[in-house]
Amino acid sequence: MVDRAQISLILQECHDCPYMGHMSEDRTKERVASTAWWPKWEQELSEYINTCERCQKANWKHGKKHGLLQHIEEPKHPWETINMDWVTELVPGGKENYNACLIIVDRFSKSMRFLPCHKEDTALDTALLFWNNIISTCGVPKIIISDRDPKFTSEFWTNLYDMIGTKLAFSTA
């Protein structure tokens, strides 16, 4: 029979030891099972891992869930909700040698705008392109859906969204 002091040492060595790397519960169970046995050891191991501070901070089960589909309400008017994304690595073309395209899709009408631009454009360049080609002709959208491209998530864009009253929603990759 294993005594209390040995149990603590076994749990620490099989789970916390730096060369073990805070393994999953299943992997730690394998290690403990090959080392020792005591009554209700699996339950005790589970409690030990569930109270491990380092594991709780790093464990995906305890953080925000990513990638779950969220319902996006269907827009009732044109240009109320739009999707924005980039096509990059294009062969340079036109008199400005554009090598990228900002694509904007109205979710209501499914109409699209293809705005030629440069991959190297800054967040400000992108905002001006958006302002001059979308807001000035179609109005201010209530919701913009985009990926997490830094050009759409920069402090500048965040402030612009706040100023014009637009909500940013992120799409999944």
Each residue's pLDDT tens digit, 63-92? 555 555 667 789 999 999 999 999 998 999
Residue that is written with structure tokens 């916390």 in the block: 16
State the pLDDT at residue 163.
83
Using a cut of 0.85, tell me whether the model's pTM lies above it.
Answer: no
Question: CA 4, CA 56: separation in Å to the nearest integer?
Answer: 24
User: What pLDDT, on the 0 to 100 scale, is given for residue 148?
Assistant: 82
Q: Write out residues in the chain with pLDDT < 50, as ranges.
A: none
Paired with 104 in beta bridges are 84, 113
* Architecture, CATH, for domain 81-170: 2-Layer Sandwich (3.30)
pLDDT at position 59: 64
Domain ranges of the chain: 4-62, 81-170
Give exposure, 60-69, as e/b (b: 16+ Cβ within 10 Å).
Answer: eeeeeeeeee
Contact 98, 92 (CB under 8 A): yes
